[in-house]
Amino acid sequence: MVIQIPAPETLLQITWTIIGFMLARAFGKRFDQVIQNTEWWKTASEIEKFIVGGLLNFFHHFWIGLLLMVYSGGSQEVYWFGYGLFLDDLPDIPARFRKYFGYLSNGNDVE
C-alpha cells in the first residue's frame, strides 16, 4: 500500500489547510487540560470523570481530519480543512498509538 501525502498547491487549498490547522491549534491542544482544571472536574464523580475523560481521549482531530478528507465529496474546502486538522495532530500520533497499543507488549490495559 502506498500512501501519498498531499500538498496544497493553490491559494484556496493553502487557505483552507491553514484554517483547519488554526482551528485545531486554537481548541485542541489545551482543551483537555482546561476541562480538567475546572471546578466542575474537581467535584465530579468518578463515573463523570470516566465518561468525560474517555470522550476527551477519543475525540482527536487527526482522525476527524482524515474522515473529512475521505468524505469531502469533492469539496476541496472540506478536504483541505480536514488536512489542516490532521496536520496539527500529526506529531502526537506516534505517542498516542504507543499508549493505545502498549498493552500488547506489557500485558496492561490502556489507561
Residue type, 45: S
pTM for the complete prediction?
Answer: 0.77
Q: How confident is the model at residue 105 (pLDDT cuts 50, 70, 90)?
A: confident
Query: Is the model's pLDDT at 109 over the cut of 70?
Result: no
Tens-place pLDDT, residues 62-90 = 899 999 999 999 899 999 999 999 999 88
- The verdict on residue 2 lying in a domain is no
Residue 111 lies in a domain: no
> With contact defined as beta carbons under 8 Å apart, do 88 and 61 qualify?
yes
The pLDDT of residue 3 is 79
Mean pLDDT of 26-46: 88
* Residue 42 belongs to a domain: yes
The answer to whether the beta carbons of residues 12 and 77 sit under 8 Å apart is: yes
Residue 110 has pLDDT above 70, yes or no: no
> Cα–Cα distance between 103 and 10 in angstroms, integer?
43
Residue 75 lies in a domain: yes
Question: Structural domain tally of the chain?
Answer: 1
In a domain, 5, yes or no: no
Contact of 20 with 80, CB cutoff 8 Å: yes
- Domain of residue 28: give its range: 11-103
